[in-house]
Amino acid sequence: MKVRVLSILSLLVVIIVVTVSSVILTSASRELTQELQINRVAALNRFAQLASDAAQDKDTSQLQREMDRYSELYGEGILIRTQEGTVRSGGLSEERPDVQDALNRASLNLSDTTLNPISAFGTGNDIISRSFGTASQVLGEAVVEVNLDAARQKLRERWLVVGFAALALAALLLLAAARITGWVLRPVNRLSRAVHELETTGKTSQLPDAGPPELRELSRSFTAMADTVTESMESQRRLIADTSHQLRNPVGALRLRIDLLQLELKGQQEKAAAAGVVAELERVEEMLDGVLKLATAEHRAFEGSTRPDQAAEHQRQAVIDPLPILQGEVERAVPAAQRAGSRLTLEGPAHENQINCDPDELAHMVGELIANAIKYAPGATITVATQQTAGGSAVVISDDGPGLPAEQRAASTTRFWRAPQHSKIPGNGLGMTIVDRLAQANGGRLVIEPREPHGLTARLEFAKPEDAQDA
């Protein structure tokens, strides 16, 4: 936004500076033209008077001396035509078309004493002319060639001064525009970041009361709204966690009663019905456990991404070598993999990889991903490994099972979502959601990708630890 606003303001600054400069330079050209015209018309009138006197006295020697002295001083030609002949100086010839035209107009008693506006980069000289004589008779014509080079040089010097002044003014205006734009847009940028933070984490920091009055009021309103939304979301998380926790007691009591009831049952049909109730209770217990874990993971993710002081968070996280944790989880999952007909392998790292993560939560994430691979890809080869990435390291769990289509991969971290083809496999649809939230809580992310030619890859990507970056 700042670039777009500055582009518009820069265009306006250029237009203003060019307009002001054009007005100043046009005024300077007009001023120099007028000054030169007044001076040369005065000289023309003087020579016309001298020529009129010479025509009456029949003596042009004085006139010739004055004309030669003028031409030597200013470098301009003069031509005066009388009834007795033509007097000239400075090499001005009546054969020139412009001089001839000026003489013809003056012979008709039409004076031409107006100079064309001076151009800084023009060339050539200008001509002014007038007639002289009595009120009833034209005795001759006087023509003066006006040299414009000196005036053009003055105008170019003014152009240079105005150019430097225009650049300085443009720089000053652009600097002022940048400062004002930053002052105006800084609250907008903070508000945009706060909206994104609220969208992704459910919390946002206090916006500073800065900027124009309207934006300060908007910041205050947004902060109040964000606090309300955050409190509402936190209340919902606490309600879910508390409800799940409180339900464990009656469910546990119900489980105990059913176990006692099973001891009293004699018929096979009754025992089968009781076993079905127990299976449903186990499903409820599993779901309650999943909801509690999800509430804890979401609380960790939201808390870790919005806490201003991350000291407590860093106490839980540590820069660790993930290989021992992966080894432990692989060993723990080997019996389940053998029962499912799967082959579970751990690949040693090609390079030393370190990640910043809570060890217990990393073990939980890896264990959940391995369990999912065993459950939903029976008979597959499951590989657990670490890899280096452009920004850090990743823990990769991949299998060569059937995999998931793109739309199902995108929905795999949604709460309670399960693939239609897995509906008959026991599960509550919370495992991948918990892994995703725990990855966020530890500054990482979960990426679900296809494996070629078939299968699925789950990547836990972590940024390079700060200690490793400093090294």
The 3-state DSSP class for residue 447 equals strand
| Residue-level pLDDT at 1 | 63
Q: What is the DSSP letter of 430?
A: -
- DSSP β-bridge partners for residue 133: 138
| Residue-level pLDDT at 301 | 67
Lowest mean pLDDT among 69-78, 278-287, 300-309, 319-328: 300-309
Please say if the pLDDT value at position 470 is more than 60.
no
Give the tokens for residue 402.
């059937």
Is residue 399 within 8 A of residue 377, CB to CB? The reply is yes
Residues 208-227: tens digit of each pLDDT: 776 677 777 777 787 777 77
- DSSP β-bridge partners for residue 458: 397, 448
Q: What number is the average pLDDT over the span 239-258?
A: 75
Please say if the pLDDT value at position 342 is more than 90.
yes
Q: How far apart are CA 302 and CA 129, in angstroms?
A: 91
CATH top-level class for 213-308? mainly alpha
Q: What number is the average pLDDT over the span 272-286?
A: 80
Please say if the pLDDT value at position 186 is more than 60.
yes
Those residues with Cβ within 8 angstroms of residue 140's Cβ, 6 or more apart along the chain or in another chain: 51, 52, 55, 80, 81, 82, 83, 131, 132, 133
Residues 320-332: tens digit of each pLDDT: 889 999 999 999 9
| Residue-level pLDDT at 312 | 46
Q: How far apart are CA 456 and CA 260, in angstroms?
A: 44
Helix/strand/coil percent split, the chain, to 5: 60, 15, 25
Please say if the pLDDT value at position 89 is more than 50.
yes
Please say if the pLDDT value at position 274 is more than 90.
no
What mean pLDDT is reported for the chain?
A: 83
| Residue-level pLDDT at 314 | 46
| Residue-level pLDDT at 202 | 61
| Multiple choice CATH, 313-470, 3.30.565.10, 3.30.460.10, 3.40.390.10, 3.90.1150.10 | 3.30.565.10
Q: What number is the average pLDDT over the span 58-80?
A: 90
Nearest to 385 by CA among 353, 357, 348, 435: 348
Is residue 384 within 8 A of residue 338, CB to CB? The reply is no
Higher-pLDDT residue of 460 and 1 is 460
Kindly list the distances between the CA atom of residue 293 and the CA atoms of 122, 209, 286, 287, in Å, as whole numbers in the listed order.
Answer: 85, 38, 11, 10
Is residue 62 within 8 A of residue 54, CB to CB? The reply is yes
Please say if the pLDDT value at position 162 is more than 80.
yes
- Is residue 299 classed exposed, middle or buried when 0-12, 13-18 and 19+ CB atoms within 10 A define those classes? middle
Q: How far apart are CA 392 and CA 457, in angstroms?
A: 18
Which pLDDT band, with edges at 50, 70 and 90, does 43 fall under? very high
Please say if the pLDDT value at position 384 is more than 90.
yes
Q: How far apart are CA 285 and CA 258, in angstroms?
A: 14
Q: Say yes or no: domain 2-154 is CATH 3.30.450.20.
A: yes
Tokens 């964000």 locate to 226
| Residue-level pLDDT at 204 | 67
| Residue-level pLDDT at 56 | 81
* Sequence spans of domains, the chain: 2-154, 213-308, 313-470
Strand stretches in 304-407, DSSP E = 318-320, 343-346, 355-357, 381-388, 392-399
| Residue-level pLDDT at 374 | 93
Q: How far apart are CA 249 and CA 333, in angstroms?
A: 30
- DSSP β-bridge partners for residue 88: 79
Q: What is the dihedral of CA 462, 467, 470, 471, to 10 degrees?
A: -110
Which pLDDT band, with edges at 50, 70 and 90, does 362 fall under? very high
* ∠ Cα 405 411 415 (to 5°): 145
| Residue-level pLDDT at 399 | 94
Is residue 155 within 8 A of residue 120, CB to CB? The reply is yes
